[in-house]
Structure 1
Amino acid sequence: MSTTYVVRDSMTMLRRNLRHLSRYPSLALMLLAVPIVFLLMFVYVFGGTLGAGLPVDGGGTRADYLTYLVPGIWIMTVASVANGTAVSVAIDRTGGMFARFRTMDIARVSVLTGHVLGAVTRTLLALSVMIVFALLLGFRSDAGFVGWLGAAGLVLLLAFSFTWLTVAMGLAAGSIETASNTPLVLMVLPFVSSGFVPTEQMPAGLRHFAEHQPFTPIIETLRALTAGTPVGHEGWIAVGWCTVIGVTGYLWARRQFARVPVR
């Protein structure tokens, strides 16, 4: 099948996913609500105390903690949308839609690509809202155009990678309930990273784990890009983690989709 047909069928599946979003606005609100609640809670409930523990001269303020926190909240937003993608894939899988699609004269890859492109679109919309919301709370950045462009590129790569992983999780799940629970690890891991507190304040064993799991270099890279400071080697580690996650998710998803029975 030619590339033209693959692109055409992928765009058709993308429109299908976006129509589902417009028909179920409560789902979009829920995907936004979780990161917004975390942002408000950590800034206004814990921000004063956690800000004082930041590694700045004289301790940080609530405003300093907001600046520190925002990149981690962006990661939570990406993970939240990816979690919803696993559920939507499981609904199509258990409801027989994938089996029907496999009997149709369409590019097979377009079925999964439509879910991925739809999730990335939702992620960009959610992140746009989160950036505006953070600015209203007082978030400020010293980054220039290049820094923001780099941050946007990294978040887009992360969203693409996580979505393929959660698509695979949704396909592998035996039920919708399982699909909604399996990706929760993506929501938990940011808490055991540098997203909310510096890793230097953690116990030795936990600190070692936090510094070597995928989220910490990604968050630190976003933090440097939005602050206008040098990224260093963390940037390459972040891109490497995103690439590994994306390739693993894609191969796993393709293998699971091939096992879907044809009806």
Structure 2
Amino acid sequence: MVEMFKELSPVYQALLATLFTWGMTALGGSLVFFFVKINRKLMDGMLGFAAGVMIAASYWSLLAPAIEMAENNGDTPAWIPAVVGFLAGGVFLWGIDKVLPHLHLGFPKSEAEGIKTSWQRSILLVLAITLHNIPEGLAVGVAFGAVAYGLPSADLAGAVALAIGIGIQNFPEGTAVSVPLRREGLSKFKCFWYGQLSGIVEPIAAIIGVLAVLAMRPLLPYALAFAAGAMIYVVVEELIPESQLEKNTDIATIGTMLGFAVMMALDVALG
């Protein structure tokens, strides 16, 4: 897989990688054709797993390379790009969270966040997942953009590992959208359609990310840390609280540990 990517431009690399992650979202969404309901303990474990993958990816694939690049540049203290980018990513997601109407899994419509709207509950649920697919797409795009500069701290195998890890955790996210929508009364096809649609933002965000770092190399450490901050914001604000909602804390925690271990192993083995 890595060899196949070497002949492509970073833009096509990022696009193909996020088409894979989008496909994994669709695959998870397809479970609605077989199940009307997913066991809540299993769902909490999968949400925890997704959180673990994102936490590990934030450090191993994004923050660590950002710090190493800043150290090699030597223009500013290495911690500045990492801290500034990380906090900026969190602020960016916080701003979108306050504006974009959305509803987290398991909450009544009265607790929808963002600008008040009369949109259906089903649309609000889809937008909640779409919201945290934005930093995932950005992370992949920035990672492949970094590879283009031939820096020791950013290699193709590591970017591919990041895409694989995000793809794996997108599977339960697709399920988390489509199956609850079935209980809202939507047809199986509509549930699947909305489930996969929540992942379409990833290729878009990836292209934006890769083009941004290709255009401005000095921003690269900041961009990597930005993607990490945005992902950590999603984990703390959404994934972990949702996985703990039904008090299945041990299962959710074990899922998080497993997700972190899988992503860490992928990054170390491939990167």
* TM-score, normalising length: structure 2: 0.35
* TM-score, normalising length: structure 1: 0.36
Q: Whose radius of gyration is greater, 1 or 2?
A: 1
Higher relative contact order at CA 8 Å, sep ≥6: structure 1 or structure 2?
A: 2
